Amino acid sequence: MTMKEEKLISKIEKIMPAAKPASKSEFDGSDYEGIWFRGSEECHTDGLPIFNYWAMDKGCHPKLNEILEDAGWMWEPYDSGTMMAYPS
């Protein structure tokens, strides 16, 4: 079962505040469920980037990837500096 958007955003904010997760609707005004990472180009406290487009297969920070997978979500690049997540 996939975690609801609001609950997942709250969890990510607590664990990885640098990711700055927000509802996709704040990005594009759509009603579709999704998470926009406003901090895509920031680094977590361990110094690793939240998102690195140039490392496509491993472009998402490992901890964030684990959180998303455990919640039944997947990430994908929107462009080279923006990461999004959607329910799987």
**pLDDT tens string for the chain (88 positions)?**
899 999 999 999 999 999 999 999 999 999 999 999 999 999 999 999 999 999 867 899 999 999 999 999 999 999 999 999 999 9
The count of domains in the chain is 1
Of 15, 73, 61, 31, nearest to 23 by C-alpha is 31
Cβ distance 12 to 67 under 8 Å? yes
pTM (two decimals): 0.94
- Write out the residue range of the structural domain in which residue 21 sits: 5-87
